[in-house]
Structure 1
Amino acid sequence: MSSTSVVRPSYAAVLRIPYARRTFAAALLGRLSYGIVPLSVMLAVTRASGSYAVAGVVMALFSGTSVFLSPARAALIDRHGPRRALVPMVAAYTALLGLLTVTVWRPGVASPLVLGAVTAAAGACTPPLGPTMRAVWGRIADDRALVQRAYSLDAVAEELLFVSGPLLVGVVVGFAPPALGIVVGAALIAAGTAAFVASPPVRDLTPGGVRARVRGKGRRRVLRGIGRPVIAAAGVGLALGSVELLVVAFAEGRGHGSDSVAWVLAAMSAGSAVGGLANGAVVWRTSAGLRLPLLVAGLGLALLGAALAPGLGTLASAMAVAGLFVAPAITTAYLIADETAAPEARVQAGAWVNTAVNAGATAGTAAAGLLVGGLSTGWCFAVTGAVTLLAAVAAARGATRDGGAPEEETVGKVGDGGAARAA
């Protein structure tokens, strides 16, 4: 390992890792489907059923099985390797999306029960390309600083995918039924996964003797240490889920249109992208365990500031500041999960963090809906900020117990483990 990569690894250095560009591009191609399929399914089911209520229930089933079964799907990858686990998942997922496309192509044909069953089954088979790609980054990067930079690049790219995906759906529905968007999403994840598992770093990720080790250690020992990043990620997710609804309520309460909401949320996304890139560029002297609660606390304080915003312009500024902490906090949570979990459970650890973010977002949206009915938006932002600070306190207590050596002291550990790491 060169001293240059330890002191100041660049994003270019990440992409110069052998096979990194090929593997990352394939993963991003497949993950673009995540930004296309949900909106396409919602629009297609709404058109087919003629009911927003049916569409809401169907999407809840799709999201629920996708999010909460993510650790179980990741466990299959840790146990059997990406090629043996991802390929059957993608085959089942694309087949179910194809069946759903046929079901919703003609309005008024399918029953709500059939729509719910097919979408729930499709969600249960969603391939965890994101956690798998992060496990690959941890294996192919040769020091901790380079892994940090790779995770930051991954987080920013994923943010852009979730922005561009709905835009592509808008283009599709401009000239075709929304069911075509489901087809496009299925084709993207099939093509991306095929290229991903054919890449040498992924092809070399074989389970080896993992199964015996996992059975011997037990689930708790294999996933020991991920509670802190999971709690922090859930706090960030809760903040994100609340903010989306609170911004809508804030804008409508002051007579602004939906275009204003889009600009405020875009300011937060832009802040997140900037924060993510900056986080990866800094050579940190403190451990990820000590940084994580500070980043979550920064998000909470920014939301407390948003509670004082008198107008949409100041709210957009507050959201941009809040966004600065989002991607760094999530990236740091992934780093801690990857570093503390057993080598044979890296994908599972990342999936648990991802599940925590999504579950927190779902809970945050529901809680914000209840709060908006009885409190002003200012107080709602204050409550959201206070809960986020509580998550930061919980993460800080874990960091205090763990101690947390400076990050340079952990450089080089990422490469340890050899074949076990490849599982």
Structure 2
Amino acid sequence: MSYAALLRVPHARRTFGAALLGRLSYGTVSLSLMLAVKSATGSYAVAGTAMALFGAASVFLSPLRALLIDRYGPRRALPPMTGAYAVLLGVLAALTWRPGASGLLLGVAALAAGACTPPLGPTMRAVWSELVGTRQGLLQRAYSLDGVAEELLLVSGPLVVGAVVQFAPAAFGVAVSAVLVAVGTAAFVASPAVRGLAGRDAGRRGSSGGISPVRGLAQPVVVAVGVGLALGALDLLVLAFADARQHADAVAWVMAALSAGSAVGGLANGAITWTTPARVRLPFLAAGLAAALGAAALAPGLVTLGAAAVTAGLFVAPALTT
């Protein structure tokens, strides 16, 4: 089955489109917040600390937010979570609109906002499994399309911020991020596909017989952590590489090359009908990413680093999708 067939599944386009609108906020908020805090305080250290607090709260509390989604369903759990997140982003926008904001206050607000980040991506992937049912080939394409779309959002988000700061303060980008996530989530939970999810989840919990849902997840969790750490470090390493060559403006292009490679790899992964089990494919995909990043370490210049980034990207979305 093709990607077109996937999007013809009832409610797929409406639900996916709403989720993407909300998830665009994740592509705009980081750069907007960093620029806004820097502008308000005049300190990269404060901006970096605020972003670290925001990111740490978002990452380390994600299991708790996932538990709330699982227990109460997305229609009941997402709206209050998103409402709190959007309000706190609004507070951050107000605090950073003019210079002179308190770094301590900004850190507290960033920490609180990160703690409320709504998990639209994971929830959408759960909805995909409901929409396509047991059609495994179609589910693989759904996850691949989802991963590719997320990569494109992470590339386009900074471009949106770049356009915004041409005519407004960076704090306006934070406010735009709040509106995007609020509107996208509202449309997402209104979808019939999401309305039906909570009841079926409750039924599965009642009939599971107490079997742990996390059994057998050690391998994919290890790979996901490794990929996340590698890509998280890569941002800073590429910046240092470009700075050493007096071309800091090239960082965006190298990271865009990584995302472009990931998009191509994700689409290819979804188009292939695999006969090898996912558990067998996963370590090979992780090893391919490791080899490509190792080759990037040998790059003599930015052009070759960009080529290595494209190659590394080919393995990112397939690894995370798998």
Matched, 1:141 2:135: no
Structure 2 unaligned segments of length 5 or more: list them: none
The corresponding residue for 2:309 is 319
**Hey, what does 1:66 align to over in structure 2?**
58
Distance 1:144 1:243 in 2: 33
**Cα–Cα, structure 1 residues 95 and 247, in superposed 2: closer, same or farther, change >3 Å?**
closer
State the AA in 2 paired with 1:208: A
Distance in 1 of aligned mates of 2:52 and 2:304: 33
Asked whether 1:240 is paired with 2:231, we answer yes
Matched, 1:265 2:261: no
* 1:275 and 2:268 are equivalent in the alignment: no
Contact 1:79 1:210 in 2 (8 A): no
Cα RMSD, aligned residues only:
1.7
Q: Which residue of 2 aligns with 1:19?
A: 11
Given the superposition, is the C-alpha separation of residues 155 and 95 from structure 1 closer, same or farther in structure 2, using an over 3 Å criterion?
Answer: same
1:208 aligned onto 2:202: yes
Using the TM superposition, give the Cα deviation of residue 302 of structure 1 relative to its aligned residue in structure 2, in angstroms: 1.4
Structure 1 Cα separation of the partners of residues 139 and 50 of structure 2: 38
User: 1:137 Cα deviation (Å)?
Assistant: 0.4
Q: What is the identity, as a one-letter code, of the residue corresponding to 1:53?
A: A
Q: 1:261 to 1:102 in 2, by over 3 A?
A: closer
Larger Rg: 1
Q: Is 1:54 matched up with 2:14?
A: no
Change (3 A) 1:152 1:79: same
Q: Cα–Cα, structure 1 residues 10 and 252, in superposed 2: closer, same or farther, change >3 Å?
A: same
Partner letter of residue 114 of structure 1? L
Matches within 5 A, 1:364-383: none
- Confirm whether residue 297 of structure 1 aligns to residue 287 of structure 2: yes
Secondary structure, in 3 states, of the residue corresponding to 2:202? Answer: coil
Query: Structure 1 residues 53, 248: CA separation in 2 closer, same or farther (over 3 Å shift)?
Result: closer
One-letter amino acid matched to 1:250 = F
Count of residues in Structure 1 that have an aligned counterpart in Structure 2: 319
In the alignment, which residue of structure 1 is the partner of 2:123?
132
User: Which residue number corresponds to residue 367 of structure 1?
Assistant: none
8 A contact 2:32–2:161 mirrored in 1:
yes
1:217 equivalent in alignment to 2:210? yes
Contact kept? 1:79, 1:211, Cα under 8 Å = no
Alpha-carbon distance between aligned partners in 1 of 2:37 and 2:169, rounded to the nearest angstrom? 11
Q: Is the 8 A contact 2:130 2:197 kept in 1?
A: no
Q: Percent identity?
A: 66
Q: Is the 8 A contact 2:31 2:161 kept in 1?
A: yes
Q: Match for 1:94: what amino acid?
A: A
- The answer to whether the 8 Å contact 1:155/1:327 transfers is yes
- In structure 2, distance between residues paired with 1:201 and 1:308: 48
Query: Which residues in structure 2 correspond to 1:81-92 (within 5 Å)?
Result: 81-92=73-84
Deviation, 1:118, is 1.3
What does residue 240 of structure 2 align with?
Answer: 249
Separation in 1, partners of 2:33, 2:152: 20
Structure 1 residue aligned with 2:35, among 43, 56, 59? 43
Distance 1:213 1:37 in 2: 40
Whole-Å separation in 2 of the counterparts to 1:147 and 1:47: 44
The CA deviation at 1:309 is 2.7
- Code of the residue aligned with 1:122 in structure 2: it is A
Which residues of structure 1 form unaligned runs of 5+?
1-8, 333-423
Dislocated runs of 4+, deviation >4 Å = 209-214
What residue number does 1:309 align with? 299
Q: Which moved more, 1:255-264 or 1:59-68?
A: 255-264
Give the CA deviation at 1:210. Answer: 6.0
